[in-house]
Amino acid sequence: MKNLNKLVFTFLALHCLQVNAQNKYPVIVIHGGAGVIERGMLSEVDEAAINEVLQLALDSGYAVLDRGGSALNAIEKSIIILENSPYFNAGHGAVMNYDGRHELDASIMDGSNLEAGAVAGISTVKNPILAAKAVMLNSPHVLLSGEGAEIFAKSENLELVDNSYFTTEKIKKSWSESKSQLKLKGEGKSGPKPEKFGTVGAVAVDREGNIAAGTSTGGMMNKKHGRIGDSPLIGAGTYADNSTCGISCTGHGEYFIRVGVAKEISDQMAFADKSLDEAVQFTLHKKLTGMGALGGLIGLDKSGNVVMEFNTSGMYRGYRNQNESIVRIYAD
């Protein structure tokens, strides 16, 4: 009997090793926005700097996972680095609204329990992703906006800054040029069409198989009337569910909201038995592209399979697992 028990234990141990070997996690995938990003548009200095920041964000998030940390903490680590970089439209370096101020949005979701938190239209929180996480963990709500979100962030002792902290000379120049073009061309019903969607995001699956996703953005350049896009909306720009996938989007938010992109991808996996790649191909490359919507997304499924898809000429992106680490900018 003792020998039989030993054989059973050995079989189970070997089976677990085989299952673990098949899993590709821990893994993390990030993006820094999609759009008209073509070779020759970036200087060698800027291209090298962007690659360096993307790699740092990947390595920092993966280090959390490698130490046995949670997917939630890993994506927070990565997104903070991207928010602090002037190269992306999130945090320091965020675009300006029509009045020349910064209004920031962020969201985060824990796929292990479907808990989520988000903030919209905030202007003094240094790292919006931390405000979103605080909403998830320490409030009964999912989404806080404007002044109320600012008051909550202050009560959570998050680091606050003057709105001018988010401004860079490059953004001021782009804002001025964009505003001049608006006056010449007019906005039309759909508003100005941005050439780049600088939203940042991260998705991770940890050693326990838990998935988390987060997204942070400054929104659309010269946006008016308190406009809010898809990034802080759970199910549109961000979604995570251990049973299916984690998604973070970047693109023309009005379209991503109408489709409910992140949740639609998860639902296709749950109810139509599609793989992550199949669901993304349909939603992004058929549905959104057919609507004339531009953008991209990153995602992970429960087995650690990665997608980094976009229908523009480039997307700042990268992923890392136990076997490889890759950073890319252009489509080719």
Is 285 among the domain residues?
yes
Across the range 267-282, mean pLDDT stands at: 98
Is 122 among the domain residues?
no
Q: DSSP of 109-163, one letter per residue?
A: EETTTTEEEEEEEE-SBS-HHHHHHHHHHHSS-SEEEHHHHHHHHHHTT--B--G
Q: Does the pLDDT of residue 304 top 60, yes or no?
A: yes
Across the range 195-224, mean pLDDT stands at: 93
Instruction: Say which amino acid occupies 23.
Output: N
> How confident is residue 190, by pLDDT bands cut at 50, 70 and 90?
very low
* pLDDT tens figures, 17-62: 333 334 578 999 999 999 989 998 999 999 999 999 999 999 999 9
**Of the candidates 109, 322, 127, the residue with the CA atom closest to the CA atom of residue 234:** 109
Q: Does the pLDDT of residue 245 top 70, yes or no?
A: yes
pLDDT for 187: 53
Minimum mean pLDDT range among 12-16, 149-153, 167-171: 12-16
Residue 305: count other Cβ atoms within 10 Å of its Cβ.
Answer: 16
pLDDT for 194: 56
Q: Whole domain around residue 202: which residue ranges?
A: 26-115+164-330
Minimum mean pLDDT range among 127-131, 200-204, 218-222: 218-222
**CATH number of the domain encompassing residue 299:** 3.60.20.30
Between vectors from CA 183 to CA 182 and to CA 185, what angle results, nearest 5°? Answer: 65
- Residues of 152-169 as b/e, b for ≥16 C-beta within 10 angstroms? bbeebebeeeebeebbee
Is 318 among the domain residues?
yes
> How confident is residue 293, by pLDDT bands cut at 50, 70 and 90?
very high
Q: DSSP of 240-303, one letter per residue?
A: E-TTSEEEEEEE-HHHHHHHTHHHHHHHHHHHS---HHHHHIIIIIIIIHHTT--EEEEEEETT
pLDDT for 332: 79
Residue corresponding to tokens 């191909």 = 281
How much helix, strand and coil, in percent to the nearest 5, is found in the chain? Answer: 40, 25, 35
Is 63 among the domain residues?
yes
* pLDDT tens figures, 49-95: 999 999 999 999 999 999 999 999 999 999 999 999 999 999 999 99
Residue 255: count other Cβ atoms within 10 Å of its Cβ.
Answer: 20
- Report the C-alpha gap between 106 and 265 in whole angstroms: 20
Is 58 among the domain residues?
yes
Q: Does the pLDDT of residue 9 top 50, yes or no?
A: no
Active site residues: 199
pLDDT for 8: 34
Structural domain count, the chain? 1
Is 270 among the domain residues?
yes
How does the average pLDDT of the chain come out, rounded? 90
pLDDT for 2: 40
pLDDT for 186: 60
Q: Does the pLDDT of residue 279 top 60, yes or no?
A: yes
Q: Does the pLDDT of residue 299 top 80, yes or no?
A: yes
**Of the candidates 51, 84, 78, 83, the residue with the CA atom closest to the CA atom of residue 65:** 78
Between vectors from CA 226 to CA 76 and to CA 185, what angle results, nearest 5°? Answer: 110
Minimum mean pLDDT range among 33-42, 76-85, 137-146, 228-237: 33-42
Is 43 among the domain residues?
yes
N-to-C CA span, the chain: 61
Q: Is residue 236 within 8 Å of residue 256, measured between CB atoms? A: yes
Across the range 201-218, mean pLDDT stands at: 98
- DSSP-assigned letter for residue 234: B
Is 231 among the domain residues?
yes
